[in-house]
Amino acid sequence: MFTLGDKILISFFILLAFIGFIFIRFFNKNADIVIVQVSGKEVFRTALSKNSRFFIDGFIGKTEIEIKDHRVRILDSPCDKKLCVHHGWIEKPYETIICMPNRVTVSLYSHKNPIDAITR
């Protein structure tokens, strides 16, 4: 069913994806900004170094977000299942918490990271 060339090509792409995952996960340790979006539009941006709590108006109500000790989490949301609340803390670049019913996205990024300049 698969030729030797197919197997080599598939192995190459799996290896490439694995190397990319390792690079992003382990070499990007310093997120420094939090960006909050509602319905895909940025509504709030702040430094991850500032401990704070704030509310964001989403599609179905207010979402409470907490920044503490260079980490961020959603404390409360008006959604039913509260999967975003149960997600817990995020602290590394490119990690994201999404509240689909309220259309709120909390993402971490780094200004110092060369990948960030390419992907934005």
Query: Three-state secondary structure along 4-47?
Result: HHHHHHHHHHHHHHHHHHHHHHHHCCCCCEEEEEECCEEEEEEE
CATH architecture under which domain 31-119 falls: Sandwich (2.60)
pLDDT value, residue 116: 46
pLDDT value, residue 120: 47
Cα 22 from chain centre = 16
Mean pLDDT for each 10-residue chunk of the chain (120 residues)?
92 94 73 93 93 95 95 95 95 91 94 53
pTM of the model: 0.71
DSSP 3: -
